[in-house]
Amino acid sequence: MSSTVNRRDLLKFGSLAALGMGIRLPSFGLGNEEGILRSEGMADGLINLSSNENPYGISPKAKEALLGALGEAHRYQYNHANLKDFKKELANYYGVNADQILVTAGSGEALGLLPRHFRGKLVTANPTFGILPATAKMLGNKVVEVPLTADQKHDLPAMLKEVDNETELVYVCNPANPSSTIVSPASLKSFCIEASKKAYVGVDEAYIDFLDAPDNESMMQLIEKHPKVFIIGTFSKIHAMAGLRIGWVIGHATLIKALSDNYFNRTQAAMSALSMSAALASLKDPEWHQLSKQKNAAARDYAYQELKKMNIDVIKSYTNFLFFPIPNYTGDFAADMLKKNIFLRSSNYVHGKWARASVGTMDEMKTFIEVMKGVRV
């Protein structure tokens, strides 16, 4: 299955979507991710490995629910009988109470609102997923970015050293984007407990469903005893609902109330009935998620092995994307790959020049690998 976004569509996305996609735009002073808005000469038939979407599509049950909801689309979401308990059902699924959860139009919305609520010093990693730190910087908040370790993992001890009385928020993405690595649940747990003695700690678990036990232990377990720890999640990844825009924040009821009473006060009323209908159905289709998880792992492992055979030092991925160094590439890698109909990301990070390619279908990854064989990185 290939994406059919063309060059005109990409240009149409503009800078707002670029920010949403985690692209760091120079106009915001956010760094130098390459090759997206200024690429030339792309034809249709693009293989889109740029946004870590799930190429297998939404669950058939979610599709059915979406179509069913269309007949009621003229009604406000709060008049849909089956959506009355949306938050409660979501809370049930995660084993929390309804007052410990708030929903947003994709977790990107939450990541953009959190630094508006928490204006004090932010401690996060570099690189990490862009929306939260980029927004914090745009607002003039103090941001401390701690480089990943040489093996591209969160440097939790170094981050903890930066958490002081001035710190209001810590943002940890686990599994990490763009580096595709994880830290162990035990180390993350003790980090969250320690850091939350001084600051709020938001753990972005967008990709946790791609993990196997014991790595897939959510930090949600901490929210009752450690009320400054909270989790950010999304339906865009394993649920394949990126275009339907559903995300959530789960935390202590006092934090959820404080957020809901402030910048998040309209997010829950702004949710689409169609999206919520699909989300409810998707929660009831674990077999579908398992299928895309397995297919993702097969395509990922294939591409990983092939890149290794080319002597590319690709990082072992725990996600649906691959992160690899391109130290010898002299041009704009993402822009040049786009000309070959492969849409991915590349950037100069603290550890040099790297690229990130999402895991597409096996066919897409085979094409990606063929293209990579003709490139020296």
Ligand X SMILES: Cc1ncc(COP(=O)(O)O)c(C=O)c1O
Where on the chain is the footprint of ligand X (CB under 6 A)?
A: 52, 106-108, 129, 173, 177, 204, 206, 234, 236, 242, 247
State the residue for tokens 């007949």.
71
Contact 86/275 with Cβ under 8 angstroms?
no
CB of 102 to ligand X, least distance (A): 14
Comparing CB distances to ligand X, the nearer of 106 and 306 is 106
Comparing CB distances to ligand X, the nearer of 196 and 236 is 236
Q: How far apart are CA 338 and CA 333, in angstroms?
A: 8
Comparing CB distances to ligand X, the nearer of 19 and 96 is 19
Residues in the chain: 377
CB of 247 to ligand X, least distance (A): 4
CB of 106 to ligand X, least distance (A): 3
Q: How far apart are CA 168 and CA 166, in angstroms?
A: 6
Buried b (16+ CB within 10 A) or exposed e, 152-189: bbbbbeebbebbeeebbbbbbbbbbbbbbbbbebeebb
Counting Cα atoms < 13 Å in the Cβ hemisphere of 127 gives 28
CB of 310 to ligand X, least distance (A): 26
CB of 165 to ligand X, least distance (A): 28
CB of 217 to ligand X, least distance (A): 17
Q: At what angle do helices 286-309 and 362-373 cross, to 10 degrees?
A: 10
Comparing CB distances to ligand X, the nearer of 182 and 377 is 182
CB of 71 to ligand X, least distance (A): 27
Name the region of 57 (left: φ>0; alpha: ψ -120 to 50; beta: rest): left
Comparing CB distances to ligand X, the nearer of 200 and 306 is 200
Comparing CB distances to ligand X, the nearer of 206 and 377 is 206
Comparing CB distances to ligand X, the nearer of 108 and 115 is 108
CB of 34 to ligand X, least distance (A): 18
The full DSSP string for 13-66 is HHHHHHHHTT---GGGT----BSSTT---PPSS-EE-SS---TT-S-HHHHHHH
Q: How far apart are CA 357 and CA 361, in angstroms?
A: 12
For residue 83 the two structure tokens come to 């959506």
Comparing CB distances to ligand X, the nearer of 86 and 129 is 129
Q: How far apart are CA 179 and CA 325, in angstroms?
A: 10
For residue 176 the two structure tokens come to 């990490």
